[in-house]
Structure 1
Amino acid sequence: MKSNTVFKTDIEIAMEAELKPIDQIAEKLGITEEEWEPYGRYKAKISLDVLKNKADLPDGRLILVTSINPTKAGEGKSTVTVGLGDALSQLGKKAVIAMREPSLGPVMGVKGGATGGGYAQVLPMDEINLHFTGDIHAITTANNALAAFIDNHLHQGNDLNIDPRKIIWKRVLDMNDRALRQIVIGLGGPKQGVVREDGFDITVASEIMAILCLAKDLDDLKERLGKIIIGYTYEDKPVSVSDLKVEGALTLLLKEALKPNLVQTVEHTPSIIHGGPFANIAHGCNSVIATKMALKLGDYCVTEAGFGADLGGEKFLNIKTAAGDLKPDAVVIVATLRALKLHGGVPAEDLKEENLAAIEEGFSNLVKHCETISAFGLPFVIAMNKFSGDTEKEIALFLQLCEKHQYTCSLTEVWEKGGAGGLDLAQKLEKLIEETSSSFKRLYNNTDLISEKISKITRIVYGANRVEYSKEARRQLMQFEDEGWGKLPVCMAKTQYSLSDDPSQIGRPEEFTIHIRKLKPSIGAGFIVALTGDVMTMPGLPKKPAALQMDVDAKGNAAGLF
């Protein structure tokens, strides 16, 4: 694909692309007609039977794409994921991309979608970035149905003796809406329910989203839903969904959403998109089912985990691999010169200006993420995602710094050139996998105490030298261990902009403390959430949200969508 001197927008490129009917993409993967069902001409749901029918096939190579700490605009990790899949396809490999579904919160907010960009996109990008096949709406419905069942139980006599002050299950909405973070419900008298404080999280932070992404099959989904802790009794005993006896109803609402979605890239590489938990407030990985399908259907599965290696990358390697019995073969760490300049102290408004000193200073952030991946025993390649404003001197300095640290690096131009811009990355990755054996290991043992797991993550991955717990968090540590939840992994909720829990501490901070303000049991998902700093589980919209540029023309085509 030739380089363009006048760059088109992502939506313009997407609208001009010629899509193949989805049956041709399914046929390319060896999926029979009985194993998929169409959602329009270019999207399909894949039957869970595929995993059973392909069980005897060997798994392909598993490649994880992660990144350094990003700027607010993101660093093109999804774009590199798509471009790498296309590049492997150009090399004659059977590549399958496995990604998360975009949330409407960032789509309408500031960061944008999660379908890649330029000539490295999954399509139809407008439909995927908006309502797609309805998976996230189904999760929203199931989550809020459970909330309704809880409040109805209180209203109808409260046989389980639930303390309304200790209900931890929140309602959700797939939108950034700060006004809903803390609310009061049940106002208007006895007929309107029990008055209590409540609040909303964004849908992608719901435990049901995590459960959908970690469940192995329909039975496992139901079992996990039943284990959800919704609150505590007046005697401080946990109350689960199975106590309310509604896990069957919730499973019914989610049975179609559990099936992964099949789409394609601009270059027609098959892509399985399924699940969408955020990596800063949830575990940040697409579904286990989708990843395992991609491994059975292709020579290579290229998947991504949200934000940097300190968030989605760590959770993929500590949480998702355990839940899905997965073993990665290699990792791609995405970096951009603008992000390095930001970590080198350059204000966001000046990132387009050449600044060699800032790149050298900010390189320390990349070094820390490389150390993290090495701590897991995994080989890696750095993908420098090139932007049009990058200067020759800046690129040369970056390559020199990589050589100095003996890092394998590839200049990646997939946004502009599609798969052709990722051929060098694909070739270096292939060589790395063939010549280097993975010695993958997780950073902690299940038998470690919750506090020990938190200590290992904060020390090895973040570089912190101390963990400080609030009074509430210290009480919860003891309570959770007493309940028998201590053997579960830990999912850290932390800002994506810094290795610390303070977004203003850019670069590679040292001698800092991680502050654990609260713990949350996600027993159905199978982990304990540790909330650090001021991280929000319901984000807010910026002063000028991306939605201000969005519209639809007379023919129903999307406009202004990136």
Structure 2
Amino acid sequence: MAFKTDIEIARAARKRPIQEIGETLGIASEHLLPYGHDKAKVSQAFIDSLADRPDGKLILVTAINPTPAGEGKTTTTVGLGDGLNAIGRKACICIREASLGPNFGMKGGAAGGGYAQVVPMEEMNLHFTGDFHAITSAHNLLAAMIDNHVYWGNEQDIDVRRVTWRRVLDMNDRALRQITASLGGVANGFPREAGFDITVASEVMAILCLARDLADLQERLGAMIAAYRRDKTPVFARDLKADGAMTVLLKDAMQPNLVQTLENNPAFVHGGPFANIAHGCNSVIATRTALKLADYVVTEAGFGADLGAEKFMNIKCRKAGLAPDCVVVVATVRAMKMNGGVAKADLGAENVAAVEAGCANLGRHIENVKGFGVPVVVGINHFAGDTEAEIAAVRAYVAAQGAEAILCRHWAEGSKGMTEMAARVAEIADAGTSAFRTLYPDEMGLMEKIETVAKRIYRAGSVTADARVRAQLKDWEAQGYGALPVCMAKTQYSFSTDPGARGAPEGFDLPVREVRLSAGAGFVVAICGEIMTMPGLPRVPSAESIRLNAQGQIEGLF
């Protein structure tokens, strides 16, 4: 049987006008700000009117550590939302927006796949409603105002050697990681070292995804640290009077984007912080809005549960007062085999022993999620080459962990292949057995929080950080930042900082190379191992295959 490609399926979608999608959630057309016929922003006035409504059930979709075999977390998120609607439940999906950098680099699109997609796929993976461009502009406005302030007399006594605010670009460009700025003479300012990060690594992105409303957004933007003075005291964005103008640039971007699935079910696609650098979840405002409008909200967290789910629980839920009712951990038979030592080229052959060996990675994630007090169900994302014996091996392993594994065929069958999972998830969520708790209390010390995540989630044997890092954490505690959660920045491919260490390594050392204070977003970033905040393009980037065909359609994006 020949399967259609994702793009062929997306092009054949029978989309409904976005006003009709809004009506399914009770959003009147006057509260939608259309971007064409198939996407719209929801007005802040309408969102404000929902404050007294009860919340629906929150379902988090997470996964094992990503492998080249593919896991299908976003596809499962979309499929589960469609499945819930198919069995008569009122459900909405919340996912992140796609970054141009990975789209033109290696990853490709980020709208699901097969018959479990969000559309319009091409627009979502390109400029969409301009949110990322607004974030890029707001971020770089502050960068420009820092250098301008220094140029015109430096009233704040900024030490140009201690400007911490870099510029951003929504593209992978390794040449910009470290630059020298303001060359060319007196008219161009004072030369200094600088650099670029990718937009999704910006603190502005994290703030947009955590802010409750525009007033909260401006307060958080003002609290961002832009530089340090010669006496080493921080210079905040509000000291440079940048927070008001930045908020103006982000006014429209703050409003969630409403689109639809292939089955015409509602989906909010809003925000997109990196999961290995930032907290990796869609916006709080989109999630909270969806919870007021639907009985069930299906959302996802970036990469594996050791990064995305941990940050969803310890940062997003802590900050927004959210509590998941059920967690779905996505795994594939292929990825289990790869974790069990099978090369990608050999994944097609049945290998039950490798599946059983690779399940240790899945088991670690199940145990970790249970540690947050939330019930867990495993979704086996089905591939055509999976054998009954291999599927049975995963089911048996999961059962031994005190959980349940359900085969999901949403990629090939849409909601029809997801009804069993949807019914079980709804049953778990409705039972109200979740006793959600964060991993650590606010009052725990910053270094102790880092060690807690490292040892309880990653199973590190020790954490090393030099005296400079430890002293910096103590200084921040003395300045009143000790109650903040920690945001661990490490490779997504392993529990350790070694991307090649698959399975469930333990007892290793976790090196904390650097710590950064995101005072506006409200967390401390601990950079573990080698993490790039400005990725580079691969040897053969996806951009080489992306083009317009004779019909004016986009090829190669997905």
TM, length-normalised to structure 1: 0.97
SS at match of 1:164: strand
Aligned to 1:167: 163
Which amino acid counterpart does residue 309 of structure 2 have in structure 1? Answer: G
| Counterparts of 2:540 and 2:363, CA distance in 1 | 34
Q: How does 1:319-334 map to 2 (within 5 A)?
A: 319-334=315-330
Relative distance call for 1:525 and 1:74 in structure 2 (3 A) is farther
Aligned to 2:66: 70
Q: Tell me the alpha carbon deviations over residues 393-412 of structure 1, each in whole angstroms, 9 at most, x when there is no partner.
A: 21122122222333211101
**1:497 match:** 493
Identity within the alignment, %: 55
Q: Distance in 2 between matches of 1:543 and 1:241?
A: 38
Does the residue aligned with 2:418 lie in a helix, a strand or coil? Answer: helix
Match of 1:243 in 2: 239
Structure 1's consecutive aligned runs of 4 or more residues displaced over 6 angstroms after TM superposition are none
**2:39 is matched with which residue: 40, 43, 47?**
43
Distance 1:544 1:255 in 2: 37
Aligned match of 1:121: 117
Paired residue for 2:352, among 351, 356, 364? 356
Of 181, 191, 198, which residue of structure 1 is paired with 2:194?
A: 198
CA separation in 2, counterparts of 1:424 and 1:530?
A: 40
Distance apart, 1:472 and its partner CA: 3.1
2:451–2:463 Cα contact (<8 Å) kept: yes
- How many residues are aligned here? 558
The residue that corresponds to 1:550 in the other structure is: 546
Instruction: Report the Cα distance in structure 2 between the residues aligned to 1:163 and 1:518, rounded to whole angstroms.
Output: 20
Q: Contact (CA 8 Å) 2:198, 2:533: kept in 1 or not?
A: yes
Mapped contact 1:110–1:541 kept (Cα < 8 A): yes
Match in the other structure for 1:18: 14
Whole-angstrom distance in 1 between the partners of 2:184 and 2:6: 48
- For residues 316-372 of structure 1, give each alpha carbon's deviation from its aligned partner in whole angstroms, at most 9, with x where no partner exists: 101101221111101000011222122212233333333222211111111110111
- From 75, 78, 83, the equivalent of 1:82 is 78
Does the aligned pair in 2 maintain the 1:467–1:516 contact within 8 Å? yes
Give SS of 1:484's match: helix
Distance 1:73-1:164 versus aligned 2 partners, 3 A rule: farther
Counterpart Cα distance in 2 of 1:338 and 1:194: 54
Partner of 2:94: 98
Offset at residue 74 of structure 1 (A): 4.3
CA contact (8 A) 1:472 1:517 kept: no
Aligned equivalent of 1:483: 479
Question: Which deviations, in whole Å up to 9, do the C-alpha atoms of 1:473-498 show, x marking residues without a partner?
Answer: 12311221122111111111110000
The AA in structure 1 aligned to 2:120 is P
CA contact (8 A) 1:36 1:45 kept: yes
Alignment of 1:33-432 (within 5 A): 33-72=29-68, 74-432=70-428
- Shift in Å, 1:7: 1.0
Question: What residue number does 2:511 align with?
Answer: 515
Q: Deviations along 1:247-267, whole A, 9 cap, x unmatched?
A: 000000000000000000000
For residues 86-134 of structure 1, what are the alpha-carbon distances to aligned partners after superposition, in whole Å with 9 as ceiling and x for unaligned? 0000001111001100111111111222210010000000100011000
Give the distance between the partners of 1:526 and 1:415, measured in 2 at CA: 37
SS at match of 2:481: coil
The more displaced of 130-139 and 346-355 is 346-355
Conserved in 1, the CA contact under 8 Å of 2:458 and 2:506? no
**2:338–2:344 contact (8 Å) kept in structure 1:** yes
Deviates more, 1:376-385 or 1:542-551: 542-551
Secondary structure of the corresponding residue to residue 476 of structure 1: helix
1:544 CA drift (Å): 1.3
- Structure 2 stretches lacking a partner, 5+ long: none
Query: What are the superposed Cα offsets for residues 400-450 of structure 1, whole Å, 9 maximum, x if unpaired?
Result: 222233321110111111111111111111222234511100011111110
Structure 1: gaps of 5 or more residues: none
Give the secondary structure class of the aligned counterpart of 2:37.
coil
**2: CA distance between counterparts of 1:37 and 1:357?**
54
The match for 2:463 is 467
Checking the alignment, whether the CA contact within 8 Å between 1:72 and 1:111 is kept in structure 2 is no
